[in-house]
Amino acid sequence: MPRSGDVVPDATVERLPLYHQALVELARTGETTVSSVKLAELAGVNAAKVRKDLSFLGSYGTRGVGYDVDFLTIQVSRTLGLTGDSSVVIVGFGNLGQALAKYGGFADRGFPVVAIVDADPTKVGTAVKETDGVVVQHVDELAKIVRSQGVAVGVIATPAESAQSAADALVGAGVQSILSFAPVVLDIPETIPWRKVDLATELQILSFYQARSGSLQHPA
């Protein structure tokens, strides 16, 4: 019987946000309980997998009934460490950086963008109205910003060539995790978790399954 002290498998961790998202949606529509079958449908996975995943957090369901939406939401949030907002700083104010800054999807889900930096002095001073008028600052200010604003997450939106120096700056400034959109492997200390999102890579993976068209559906 897995208890909260036990390890949560990586594969499960990657799915917890899906459940969280589905639970928030259920709460919004007024549902008070949910079965593993329903939750599986909303998250796009298999019901047995949902039950096994949730069992790693503890025994929070009621047999014959299902899971309490609000209670389970809290447990999933707690496991993911989603207690309160985590401030984000974006490094790089090119097209992608501007895009991410204006995109509201971060703040909506508890990750407000509180600062933007760039190495180009001509970009410093620009205000982004979509993020409450955050003003672009110079990358040299990074350490000061992270400390004073308590920034937890750094997002790298620089060109590939500058990504490593951006990472170094973020690590030096003291952020606790990094999300990179640059298509390069970064050298980052083991103590700081980081992930890479590469949009072109996603399209190339699709390309493969499209070429094999019909024969195989993409794995969820």
Which residue ranges make up the site for DNA (CB under 7 A)? Answer: 1-2, 9-12, 34-37, 45-49, 51-52, 54-55, 59-67
Distance in angstroms (rounded) separating the CA atoms of residues 67 and 35 = 6
Cα separation, 169 vs 81, whole angstroms = 25
DSSP letter at 45 equals S
CB of 52 to its own copies, least distance (A): 17
Q: For DNA, give the closer residue by CB, 11 or 211.
A: 11
Tokens 């995790």 map to which residue?
Answer: 177
DSSP line for 152-172: -EEEE-S-HHHHHHHHHHHHH
CA nearest 71: which of 84, 57, 81?
Answer: 57
CB of 51 to DNA, least distance (A): 4
67 binds, among DNA, its own copies, none (CB under 5 to 8 A by kind): DNA
Binding residues for its own copies, rule: CB under 8 A, are 8, 10, 13-14, 16-18, 20-21, 41-44, 79-82, 86, 88, 95-96, 98-100, 102-106, 108-111, 130, 152-153, 176-179, 183, 185, 190-191, 193-195, 197-214, 217-219
| Closer of 130 and 140 to its own copies (Cβ) | 130
Indicate the residue among 33 and 87 with the shorter CB distance to DNA.
Answer: 33
Residue 129: count other Cβ atoms within 10 Å of its Cβ: 8
Q: In 80-133, at which residue ranges do the beta strands (DSSP E only) sit?
A: 88-91, 113-118, 127-128
Min dist. Cβ of residue 127 to its own copies (A): 16
Distance of closest approach, residue 25 Cβ to DNA, in angstroms: 17
**63 vs 129, beta carbon nearer its own copies:** 129
Distance between CA atoms of 104 and 108, rounded to whole angstroms? 6
- CA-nearest of 156, 191, 196 to 174 is 191
Q: Classify 138 as helix, strand or coil.
A: strand
Taking the C-alpha atoms of residue 52 and residue 36, their distance in angstroms, rounded to an integer, is 10
Among DNA, its own copies, none, what does residue 133 contact (CB within 5–8 Å per kind)?
A: none
Minimal distance in Å, beta carbon 20 to DNA? 16
Binder of residue 105, out of its own copies, DNA, none (CB less than 5 to 8 A by kind): its own copies
